[in-house]
C-alpha cells in the first residue's frame, strides 16, 4: 500500500466501503455479539459507569427506526485506531477515557482547563435520534445522547471576534495506534462557523443508546452536526478554541479538492471518485438498501438559511 505522501491516494479511496460487500462489518458484528454474550455492551471505563440520566427530545429526533447497537458501535471511522471500519472496535477497548480534561482557548472571556465533570455538570442530557451520513456514501440512524453545543459555548462567553470554533482530538500514539501512521497531520482537527456551532441541532455527544459513549465511538466527548458529513463529527475532544479566522481542518488540509471545510451533505455535489446522490443504509441488504441522499441530510428546512446566498458547489 502506498504511503499517504502520494496525494492521489487517500485512505478512503482504498476500496470504498460501500463496494466492499460488508465483509469487515460482518466480522466485527460477530465479534461484538461474542463480547455481549460475555456480558459487556460497552467498552473501557464507559462499561463500568452508572448509566446516564436523560430525556428524549422527540421534537428534534427523526421518526426513522435507529440502527442496532452493533451497527452503531462496530462499524466506525476513527482513524486514530486504524483505517478499517472494524479497527476502532477491535483496538480501542483499553483506551482510557477517564480522567479527561478539556481546554477552552481563544476569543472567549472564560478560558482554561476543565475536567469532563466540569463540562457536564450544568447540562441536562437528552437523547436525539439523528440521521448520520458518511462521505463514503453510507448512512445510519443513531440515538445520540448529549446536550446542545450552544449551551456549552455560551458558558465561556465568546467575544465579538469569535467567528469560528475549532476542536482538537487527543494526541496519544501509545493509546491510538493509527496516530503512528502518516495518514493525517495529527492531532485531528475540525471546526465550525460560530452560527453553525450555535445551531440547536449541533450536539455535544457523551453517549449512545442510553449508555455512555464506548471508546470506539469517540469517548468521552464528541461532536455531531447532523446535516454535515460524518468526518465533521470529531471524537475524543480535548480542546475547544474560539477563533477570528477560519481554522485549518484535518481532511481539508489533506485533500482540499475532496473534503471541503463546510462538508454539508449535498447529493448534487459528487465526491471526485464516486456519486453522492445515493447512500447505503448500514444494516440492510447490500443490493436493496440504497436510498436517495437528501439535501443537508434531510435537515434542509432547519439549516438551509445558514447558507443563503452561498455557492454550495464552491463551498462544499
Q: Give me the pLDDT at residue 21, please.
A: 37
Paired sense of beta strands 211-212 and 203-208, if any:
antiparallel
Q: Is the pLDDT of residue 100 over 60?
A: yes
Residue range 187-222, pLDDT digits in tens: 999 999 999 999 999 999 999 999 999 999 999 999
Domain assignment present for residue 313? The answer is no
In the chain, alpha helices (H): 23-38, 69-73, 87-91, 116-120, 149-155, 194-197, 250-254, 300-303
Number of structural domains (the chain) is 1
Paired sense of beta strands 138-148 and 278-281, if any:
parallel
Mean pLDDT score, 153-171? 98
Non-local CB neighbours of 314 within 8 Å, separated by 6+ positions: none
CATH number for the domain harbouring residue 71: 3.90.420.10
Q: Give me the pLDDT at residue 71, please.
A: 96
Q: Give me the pLDDT at residue 59, please.
A: 97
Q: Give me the pLDDT at residue 43, please.
A: 59
Domain assignment present for residue 315? The answer is no
- Is the N-terminal amide bond of 99 cis, ω within 30° of 0? yes
Residue 206 CB burial class (10 angstroms; 0-12, 13-18, ≥19): buried
Query: Between the CA of residue 72 and those of 264, 301, 312, what are the distances in Å?
Result: 21, 26, 29
Q: Give me the pLDDT at residue 24, please.
A: 44
287 confidence band (pLDDT: 50, 70, 90): low
- Beta bridge partner(s), residue 139: 133, 281
- Beta bridge partner(s), residue 239: 103, 168
DSSP secondary structure of 166-220: EEEE---TTT-GGGGSSSSSSSPEEEEEHHHHTSTT-EEEEEETTEEPPGGGTTT
- For cell 481539508, name the residue: 252
Residue range 2-41, pLDDT digits in tens: 333 343 334 333 344 333 334 444 444 434 333 333 333 4
CA 73 to chain centroid:
12
Structural domain that includes position 124: 11-307
Q: Give me the pLDDT at residue 251, please.
A: 97
Domain assignment present for residue 124? The answer is yes
- For cell 428524549, name the residue: 56
46 confidence band (pLDDT: 50, 70, 90): confident
Q: What is the mean pLDDT of the chain?
A: 88
Domain assignment present for residue 275? The answer is yes
Residue range 214-268, pLDDT digits in tens: 999 999 999 999 999 999 999 999 999 999 999 999 999 999 999 999 999 999 9
- pTM for this structure? 0.86
Q: Which residue has the higher pLDDT, 19 or 175?
A: 175
- Which of 88, 81, 89, 80 minimizes the C-alpha distance to 34? 89
Non-local CB neighbours of 305 within 8 Å, separated by 6+ positions: none
Domain assignment present for residue 3? The answer is no
Q: Which residue has the higher pLDDT, 10 or 83?
A: 83
Amino acid at each position: 500500500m502506498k504511503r499517504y505522501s502520494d496525494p492521489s491516494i487517500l485512505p478512503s479511496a482504498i476500496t470504498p466501503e460501500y463496494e466492499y460487500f460488508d465483509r469487515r462489518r460482518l466480522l466485527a458484528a460477530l465479534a461484538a455479539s461474542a463480547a455481549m454474550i460475555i456480558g459487556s455492551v460497552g467498552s473501557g471505563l464507559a462499561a463500568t459507569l452508572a448509566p446516564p440520566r436523560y430525556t428524549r427530545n422527540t421534537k428534534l429526533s427523526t421518526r426513522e427506526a435507529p440502527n442496532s447497537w452493533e451497527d452503531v458501535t462496530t462499524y466506525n471511522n476513527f482513524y486514530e485506531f486504524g483505517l478499517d471500519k472494524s479497527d476502532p472496535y477491535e483496538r480501542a477497548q483499553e483506551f482510557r477515557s477517564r480522567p479527561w480534561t478539556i481546554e477552552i482557548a481563544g476569543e472567549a472571556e472564560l478560558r482554561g482547563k476543565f475536567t469532563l465533570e466540569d463540562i457536564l455538570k450544568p447540562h441536562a442530557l437528552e437523547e436525539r435520534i439523528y440521521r448520520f451520513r458518511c462521505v463514503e456514501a453510507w448512512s445510519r440512524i443513531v440515538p445520540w445522547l448529549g446536550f446542545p453545543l450552544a449551551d456549552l459555548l455560551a458558558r465561556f462567553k465568546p467575544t465579538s471576534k469569535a467567528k469560528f470554533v475549532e476542536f482538537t482530538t487527543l494526541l496519544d500514539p501509545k493509546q491510538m495506534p493509527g496516530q503512528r501512521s502518516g495518514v493525517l497531520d495529527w492531532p485531528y482537527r475540525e471546526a465550525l462557523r460560530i452560527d453553525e456551532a450555535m445551531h440547536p441541532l449541533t450536539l455535544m455527544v457523551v453517549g449512545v443508546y442510553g449508555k455512555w459513549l464506548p471508546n470506539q465511538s469517540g469517548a468521552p466527548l464528541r461532536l455531531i452536526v447532523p446535516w454535515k458529513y460524518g468526518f465533521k463529527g470529531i471524537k475524543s475532544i480535548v480542546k475547544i478554541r474560539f477563533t477570528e479566522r477560519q481554522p485549518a481542518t484535518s481532511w481539508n488540509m489533506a485533500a482540499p479538492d475532496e473534503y471541503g471545510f463546510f462538508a454539508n451533505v449535498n447529493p448534487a455535489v459528487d465526491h471526485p471518485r464516486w456519486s453522492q446522490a445515493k447512500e447505503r443504509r448500514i444494516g440492510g441488504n447490500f443490493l436493496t438498501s440504497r436510498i436517495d441522499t437528501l439535501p443537508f441530510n434531510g435537515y434542509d428546512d432547519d439549516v438551509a438559511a445558514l447558507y443563503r446566498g452561498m455557492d454550495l458547489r464552491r463551498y462544499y
